[in-house]
Amino acid sequence: MSIHSRHIVIGGAAGQGLVTVGQLLCKSMIRAGYEVLVTQDYMSRVRGGHNTYNIRVGVEPLTGPTDACDILVALNQETVELHRNSLSSKGLLVLDEELDALGLPALKVPFATLAPKAIFQNVAALGVLCSALGIAKEIPSKLVHDSFGKKGDAVVQQNMQVLDDAYAWGLANGLECEKLPQPKNLTPRMFLNGNEAIALGALAAGVKFCSFYPMTPATSVAQNLITHGRKMGVIVEQVEDEIAALNMGLGASYAGAPTLVPTSGGGFALMTEAVSLAGVMEQPVVIVLAQRPGPATGLPTRTEQADLNLVLYAGHGEFPRAIFAPGTIEECFLLTHKAFDITEKYQTPAFVLTDQELADRHMGVVPFDLSRLPAVAQPDLGDGAAEQYRRYALTRDGLSPRRIPGYGSSIVLADCHEHTEDGHITEDMGMRVAMNDKRFIKAEGMVDEVVPPKRFGAAHPKRLLVCWGSTEGAAREAADMLNAKGESVGVLSFSQVWPLNPGQFMADLEAAEEVICVEGNKTAQFARLLRQETGFAMHGTVLRYDGRPFTPDYILGKLAG
Amino acid sequence: MIDINAYGEYKTSWCPGCGNHDVLKALKQALAELDLAPHQVAHVSGIGQAAKAPHYITLNGFNGLHGRGLPPAQAVKLVNPALTVIAESGDGCNYGEGGNHFLAAIRRNVDMTLLAHDNQIYGLTKGQASPTTFEGHVTKSQPDGVTNAPFNPIAVAVAMRANFVARAFSGNVPHLVKMIQAAINHPGFAMVDIFSPCISFNKVNTFGWYKQRCYELGDDYDPTNWDAAMEKAYEFGDRIPMGVIWKTDRKPLNERLPMCAKGALGKQPVDKAVLEGIMQAYI
């Protein structure tokens, strides 16, 4: 059971407009002052594609998805059949009057009457749902104006008429639906998902180049950069394959463009040789990997956290890297921004590791305060003593000033071999060792800048749940639910998983009586990494690898079992 | 004209007599005559004997992975259109490992030059068949003779209507210089397939073998006639044509993208006011 929220599940076939209805409804609820959290579920293998858009709404901040369903909006009969058993005891089914409610308490909507053409059904559904939930009509009205304004007055007028009729119908038909409590949060908020927040974070950091090959669930990162690229001066190039994507990205980085390359596990596997190139060439690049379950094609539209080892070890040879794993939409923005700083400062690849659940998770998010963002490291834009410039000059901190070819008369030679200070091939043993050591001196600085893990729940917990990335929300809520029953449970959530800085968290691990790792894979990859690096063996694990996101109920069930 | 000494003089690891020495000499002369200073050029390569070129000439250089010279080269031009971009690698790198990038580069048509050393053998790895090795050619790795049909880079590039397709021979440096210059000056993706004989591992397609067959196309040849170009692309026997086989003038990608019009992308500041506006649209 969940706390302090209600759950609306919109289900239908792909192409029926469930995402449009869902987005309009969510934006209305956010504008009304509610907290909203959306999880998208693409059941693409069930009879021609059955999808759901799962909305959680409440007045208190929400952290993650749940399994509940209080209002089921069925756009087709299949949705009724598939979800009839998940509807809660006080739940309500909303469906077209032509569909069969199978005996469930239902609101049968005459969509054919309310929407003169099929194209208006989304707005008709919005009107009915807003009235059912007790959202003042002015809010969806303004949203319809805002959303359809560009299409001209006639389109706006037609949609407004449909909205009015649908809302009035909803009121007149005395719905037996529990109204939402009074909202609290009247701050204007964006309706934003993880991939959109990553794109905004990259733009804020100054991204200028993105090369990509489409792959679910990462594609919309590039898509968002395409949408805003012209205004922000970003080139986004869809390329022939993922190998080209990262190699091209490194060329762009060499030529002075802060660069982002988004992909998922299979695409990233193709990039691994170029990851190694970025390491030896000391070329900055931010790689976003939105995980989905493997091996190989796995469950293409589902979620998992099983590519930690892949990202940790990708690329032959040894070189430093940073891996961020945002736990929230805000962190998708902030840590992508930080990844650009770290990759430029340390001239080695930085990763943003998310997953389908977080990529597609939508929430209400206050617009980011750009004036409070720290400055992002820049290359060396000087051209002093150009004739003596050496791209890989050996320095005390391992950082060689990175000049950009063509900006001045300095010659910049970037190389994939082991090389001399000026970038030429060498097989000299001493130089090899010096260069390898130089690259790892940089790693020491990176440890000092690690984002510390976050602590939630009980202050001095007896039981500590350790998690990373998107699992944070469900783990926090599970801890809250246990603490409400009088237990002592804390959460230690890592949003940077490499490098680790044990000084930041060892005391937490040692103080708890029981430490449980909660992560979305079969082999407890993070628990093993932590043990490898610190010697600390966790006392148990809660793992999920069925392709579904963690929910509090799932965690509680595993802890109890 | 730039002093040719500006491009430096380096000790190479190429065999004495290797065609690559002459290609390097021709590249320096071509750049000097075009008045391109070392810092105005980005020289990108992959892996192979030819791909070591950035280490033997003073230019901005990016020596990347085997087969992957073209993707970074294109990106460099898009990100900083002021740079003259030259990719240089061998037949294995461009037509084998990097074949997909070769096709994509022709389609993308970024303003850059590809110098493809073609010696019809793998030199760096000591004598295996390359994509352009003839059928039947016996090597240590193909002891019964090559069974694959050879890749015809000129025919593929002409078939795809690449912006500029030329062939040259390291044994004719003055002509090679002209071809490199014409390729650099031609807008869009321009390739020169350069016969550069491997004296150690190809005992069939030797310097003499090419010398005997290569002839220069005359002024009466029209490189804008696609049918004639396809015919020349398949002339590869007793006589092999040298020169501009095909050219056209499809607009380069860097001239189509509005982002390239303001110069180097890395120098453009982040417009925070625009970004604030973008965020407002999500509300």
Q: What CATH number should be reported for the domain holding residue B124?
A: 3.40.50.970
Tokens of A11: 């289900």
pLDDT of residue A16: 79
How many separate domains does chain A show?
A: 4
Claim to verify: residue A463 and residue A528 sit in the same structural domain: yes
Helix boundaries (H) for A282-428: 308-313, 329-346, 356-360
Q: Read off the CATH number of the domain in which A466 is found.
A: 3.40.50.920
How many separate domains does chain B show?
A: 1
Residue A486, min C-alpha distance to chain B (Å): 39
Q: A313: pLDDT confidence band, cut at 50, 70 and 90? A: very high
Per-residue pLDDT at A44 exceeds 70: no
pLDDT tens for chain B, residues 1 to 283: 999 999 999 999 999 999 999 999 999 999 999 999 999 999 999 999 999 999 999 999 999 999 999 999 999 999 999 999 999 999 999 999 999 999 999 999 999 999 999 999 999 899 999 999 999 999 999 999 999 999 999 999 999 999 999 999 999 999 999 999 999 999 999 999 999 999 999 999 999 999 999 999 999 999 999 999 999 999 999 999 999 999 999 999 999 999 999 999 999 999 999 999 999 999 9
Find the residue in B nearest to A205 (Cα): B270
Residue A81, min C-alpha distance to chain B (Å): 35
Residue whose tokens read 């049909």: B149
Q: A47: pLDDT confidence band, cut at 50, 70 and 90? A: low
Q: A177: pLDDT confidence band, cut at 50, 70 and 90? A: low
Point out the domain boundary residue: A413, A448, A483.
A448
Claim to verify: residue A509 and residue A492 sit in the same structural domain: yes
Please compute the mean of the pLDDT values over residues A410-431 and round it to a whole number: 98
Q: Residues of A with CB below 8 A from B257's CB? A: 235
Work out whether strand A6-13 and strand A50-58 pair parallel, antiparallel, or are unpaired.
Answer: antiparallel
pLDDT of residue A175: 65
Q: Do B79 and A257 touch (CB under 8 A)?
A: yes
Residue A358 lies in a domain: yes
Please state, in angstroms and rounded to a whole number, the distance separating the CA atoms of residues A406 and A404: 6
Q: Read off the CATH number of the domain in which A156 is found.
A: 3.40.920.10
Average pLDDT of chain A is 94
Claim to verify: residue A110 and residue A40 sit in the same structural domain: yes
Residue A113 lies in a domain: yes
pLDDT of residue A39: 92
Claim to verify: residue A18 and residue A120 sit in the same structural domain: yes
Claim to verify: residue A264 and residue A352 sit in the same structural domain: yes
Claim to verify: residue A346 and residue A473 sit in the same structural domain: no
Residue whose tokens read 């990759």: A343
Residue A416 sits at the vertex; the CA angle it makes with B141 and A354, to the nearest 5 degrees, is 105
Q: Do B270 and A410 touch (CB under 8 A)?
A: no
Percent of chain A with pLDDT over 70: 98
Count of C-beta atoms within a 10 Å radius of residue A189: 21
Distances (CA, A) of A74 to A3, A427, A519: 24, 67, 32
Claim to verify: residue A227 and residue A331 sit in the same structural domain: yes
Domain with B172, as residue range(s), is: 4-280
Q: Residues of B with CB below 8 A from A192's CB? A: 282
Residue whose tokens read 């290797």: B18
Residue A44 lies in a domain: yes
Find the residue in B nearest to A367 (Cα): B279
Chains A & B: contacts with CB separation below 8 Å: 197
Condensed to tens digits (0 to 9), the pLDDT of residues A235-293 reads 999 999 999 999 999 999 999 999 999 999 999 999 999 999 999 999 999 999 999 99
Q: Read off the CATH number of the domain in which A334 is found.
A: 3.40.50.970
Please compute the mean of the pLDDT values over residues A297-301 and round it to a whole number: 94
* Cβ–Cβ < 8 Å for B50, B20: yes
Spacing of C-alpha A321 from chain mean position: 20
* Cβ–Cβ < 8 Å for A301, A292: yes
Per-residue pLDDT at A5 exceeds 60: yes
Please compute the mean of the pLDDT values over residues A364-377 and round it to a whole number: 97
Please compute the mean of the pLDDT values over residues A121-144 and round it to a whole number: 93
Q: Please tell me the total number of residues recorded for chain B in this structure.
A: 283
Q: A1: pLDDT confidence band, cut at 50, 70 and 90? A: very low
Claim to verify: residue A110 and residue A240 sit in the same structural domain: no
Please state, in angstroms and rounded to a whole number, the distance separating the CA atoms of residues A69 and B255: 53
**Element spanning A212, H or E:** strand A209-212
Residue B15, min C-alpha distance to chain A (Å): 17
Please compute the mean of the pLDDT values over residues A474-490 and round it to a whole number: 97
Claim to verify: residue A219 and residue A152 sit in the same structural domain: no
Claim to verify: residue A15 and residue A136 sit in the same structural domain: yes
Q: Residues of A with CB below 8 A from B280's CB? A: 367
Point out the domain boundary residue: A421, A448, A475.
A448
Task: Return the closest-CA partner of residue A409 out of A379, A391, A387.
Answer: A387
The 3-class secondary structure across chain B, one letter per residue, is CCCHHHHCCCCCCCCCCCCHHHHHHHHHHHHHHCCCCHHHEEEEECCCCHHHHHHHCCCEEEECCCCCCHHHHHHHHHHCCCCEEEEEEEHHHHHHHCHHHHHHHHHHCCCEEEEEEECCCCCCCCCCCCCCCCCCCCCCCCCCCCCCCCCCHHHHHHHCCCCEEEEEECCCHHHHHHHHHHHHHCCCEEEEEEECCCCCCCCCCCHHHHHHHEEECCCCCCCCCHHHHHHHHCCCCCCEEEEEEEECCCCCHHHHCHHHHHCCHHHCCCCHHHHHHHHHCCC
pLDDT of residue A116: 87
DSSP state of A454: E
Q: Do B79 and A413 touch (CB under 8 A)?
A: no
Claim to verify: residue A322 and residue A437 sit in the same structural domain: no
Per-residue pLDDT at A42 exceeds 80: no
Per-residue pLDDT at A25 exceeds 50: yes
Per-residue pLDDT at A326 exceeds 50: yes
* Cβ–Cβ < 8 Å for A349, A287: yes
Is the whole model's pTM more than 0.80, yes or no?
yes
Condensed to tens digits (0 to 9), the pLDDT of residues B39-56 reads 999 999 999 999 999 999
pLDDT of residue A2: 42
Please state, in angstroms and rounded to a whole number, the distance separating the CA atoms of residues B193 and A44: 48
**Element spanning A479, H or E:** helix A472-484
Residue A379 lies in a domain: no
Residue A1 lies in a domain: no
Residue A283 lies in a domain: yes
Claim to verify: residue A274 and residue A360 sit in the same structural domain: yes
pLDDT of residue A68: 87
Q: Which amino acid is at B57?
A: I
Q: Please tell me the total number of residues recorded for chain A in this structure.
A: 561
Domain with A420, as residue range(s), is: 386-448
SS3 content of chain A, % helix, strand, coil (to 5): 40, 20, 40
The 3-class secondary structure across A231-245, one letter per residue, is HHCCEEEECCCHHHH
